[in-house]
Amino acid sequence: MITVSGGGISRTVSVSQAAGYLITYNANGGTGAPGNQIKTHGIDLTLSSTKPERVGYTFLGWSTNNIATTATYREGGLYTANAQALLFAVWKLGPDENTSFANALTISLNTPMSVNIRTAYEKRYYSFTAPTTGSYIFESSNNTGDPYGWLYSSTQALITSNDDISITNRNFRITSNLIANQRYYIVGGCFSNGTGNYTLKVTAPATYIISYNANGGTGAPPTPTPKTQGISATLSQVAPTRAGFTFLGWSEDRNATAATYRAGDPFTKDATVTLYAVWASNNGTSFSTATQIFTNNPAAVTISTSSEKRYFYFIPPATGSYTFESFNNTGDPYGWLYNERQTLITQNDDIDGATNRNFRITDTLTGGEKYYIVGGCFGVGTGNYSIRVNPAGPAYTATVNNRFDAGYSVFHRETSTQSANMLNNYMAGVADRYMSLFGLKITYSSASGFTSMADSCKGNVNELTIGNLCSHRAGDVDHCSRDEICKDFSNKVTAGNNTTNVLWTGHRVTSYSTANQYQENRSMSNDTSILMLELSLTTTRLIDSQGILMHELNHQYGGKDHYHELRDRNDPYSCKFRSICSECQQPGYRPTSCVMYDSRINITNANVICEGCKNDILSHLNNHHR
């Protein structure tokens, strides 16, 4: 209250003042407590960053309880209560542990440990001795903040480090091969100057078993081969036998006609598998036992001894020019073409002696007559390859143009040139597969950059913004909607006849289900365009990208999905693809080995496209791509 007098008049005025609360500090057995502070009513107070000291103790923080063992407030933290307080230092007996290599704590296998990063750039040190040689995983979880991990050798030399498992998972994961009985150090901190708490755990390497099946033969390796996670195993040198057949190698596919692995090959896949023997009939070792070959149906050739040859015959359906060529070769294939009287017509060694060791023979053949194509290797060489015959010039043609936005390059940490080269590599493999399967020649230009809606939404795209969703709308258009990005791309990039435009992106985008909105990484196609959401790991990138690209291109060429999806969750019989669905298993259902069921599949597999899907695609190609 203030009284003001003057001119014979006296007035009393009330003045309101914000309340202040006294915050005092007590070192609680230590020295160097901060000075008092005043907390204003309704305004948070930043506590002093000064830390007291006490010989033989570690300072943990502050508490209103003078016998507390855990801190309620950290130095430099916020005090929000509208009340005065006396804060006592909280102490822990002994020096602060695991703050250096010298006092690192021991961490054991499969035993989680809590990591508390309280100040900027603080680190916590742990030592780990590998019980066996193998691949080990050091991983954070249950995090607040943004964990960062470093792995060091026993000599404190950095082996590797990691920040984020993925764009959406800020925990770190470090996988490394360690040597038995050697000490390693795992150091935990936070990205940049961050703080936070998380759990650290070391996981043991998994063990897998590789079994062998003679697949109609005898003498398969009797002892399975053990496989340790992250470490290559060596397949057995024992080869089975089968009367009238030649052993080509091993495959995970019982019906394979080409081997994926040879006896004694390294096996790197982390999985328990059964390998089946792959056999080639000994027919085809002379003109009299030649095996018939057809267009669009390649034949496998194995030349296992010097001067060995394999014989095939071909009856052209109509008079015209035909091309016989080898591909997928190991070694140096050589080809000879003979007429029905077994007279040599022509031969070829290399398409291009400098870069392409496959042979290619093109000649005019008479419809209905028999011709022989003989495959061997140059000189006394050996090797494996496939032979195909097609009418000279492709039976069908199509054009695919690849484009990529900034998100694609940023996600893979590549320059534009590196991204373009990688996409061209994908396209080369896919185009070769379509030629071998259908006689479809895909023309494609070098991949080029494109500014997508997601790029525009995020401005300067970088590793921090690539995982953000659209924060604004242009009318009713979500710039990070999968459907809208593809629609915008289709509108901006013209597609001519038989042309498909493909946009590759690494942005995080949204899509919609009938029930609710959710985020997912699923590629899509519409009438003229494909949107490829490229978020594959480095180790699976080639297989994932080529398989998904072929899946989406198959849609452009008449292929149909047959996975159990796009159904009403309350009606198990509403599957959109029920008539051919691999899980609904109606009459005529299609196998799960087909790329139209599982798009993350190795496109070099012989059965990458099932017969039903082949027929759908051939029907479309005949009508639209001749």
Whole-angstrom distance, CA of residue 450 vs CA of residue 423: 14
Alpha carbon 162 to chain centroid, angstroms: 17
Cβ neighbours of 168 (radius 10 Å): 11
Look at residues 21, 24, 16, 25 and name the one whose alpha carbon lies nearest to residue 82: 21
Which pLDDT value is given to residue 308?
A: 87
- Quickly name the fold that domain 291-391 has: Jelly Rolls (2.60.120)
Q: What is the dihedral of CA 449, 450, 453, 458, to 10 degrees?
A: 30
Mean model confidence pLDDT for the chain = 86
**CATH homologous superfamily for 207-281?**
Listeria-Bacteroides repeat domain (2.60.40.4270)
Which pLDDT value is given to residue 512?
A: 60
**Residues 6+ away with beta carbon under 8 Å from 40:** 18, 19, 20, 21
The helix (run of H) or strand (run of E) holding residue 156 is none
Domain 396-624 listed as CATH 2.70.170.10: no
**Burial (0-12, 13-18, 19+ Cβ within 10 Å), 26:** middle
C-beta separation of 500 from 529 below 8 A? yes
Using DSSP bridges, classify how beta strands 299-303 and 383-391 pair: parallel, antiparallel or unpaired: antiparallel
Which pLDDT value is given to residue 515?
A: 40
> What residues in the chain have per-residue pLDDT under 70?
1-18, 95-96, 230, 244, 282-283, 296, 353-355, 393-395, 472-476, 512-521, 565-573
Q: Is 105-203 the same fold as 20-93?
A: no
Helix-helix angle 541-556:416-438, to 10 degrees:
60
Which amino acid belongs to residue 451? T
Look at residues 126, 111, 137 and name the one whose alpha carbon lies nearest to residue 204: 137
Look at residues 4, 80, 73 and name the one whose alpha carbon lies nearest to residue 34: 73
Whole-angstrom distance, CA of residue 138 vs CA of residue 368: 66
As a whole number of angstroms, the longest Cα–Cα distance in the chain is 140
Give me the residue spans of the domains in the chain. Answer: 20-93, 105-203, 207-281, 291-391, 396-624
Which pLDDT value is given to residue 150?
A: 95
Q: What is the DSSP string of 529-583?
A: EEEEE----GGGHHHHHHHHHHHHHHHHTT----SS-S--TT-TT--TTTTT-TT
Neighbouring-strand partners of residue 28: none
* Alpha-helical runs (H) found in 373-441: 406-411, 416-438
**Burial (0-12, 13-18, 19+ Cβ within 10 Å), 222:** exposed
- Residues 67-105 have pLDDT tens digits of 998 889 988 889 999 999 999 999 887 766 788 898 899
**Residues 6+ away with beta carbon under 8 Å from 383:** 303, 329, 330, 331, 332, 333, 377
Count of all residues that appear for the chain in the document: 626
Which pLDDT value is given to residue 319?
A: 81
Q: What pTM, to 2 d.p., does this model score?
A: 0.45
Alpha-carbon distances, residue 411 vs 349, 469, 533, 534 (angstroms): 43, 15, 11, 8
The residue assigned the tokens 């502070």 is: 37
C-beta separation of 126 from 186 below 8 A? yes
Which pLDDT value is given to residue 394?
A: 67
C-beta separation of 235 from 264 below 8 A? yes
- Give the 3-state secondary structure of residue 301: strand
Whole-angstrom distance, CA of residue 558 vs CA of residue 155: 60
- Residues 183-195 have pLDDT tens digits of 999 999 998 888 8
Whole-angstrom distance, CA of residue 250 vs CA of residue 261: 5
Cβ neighbours of 287 (radius 10 Å): 13
CATH, domain range 105-203: 2.60.120.380
Alpha carbon 597 to chain centroid, angstroms: 18
| Domain formed by 20-93, architecture | Sandwich (2.60)
Which pLDDT value is given to residue 576?
A: 79
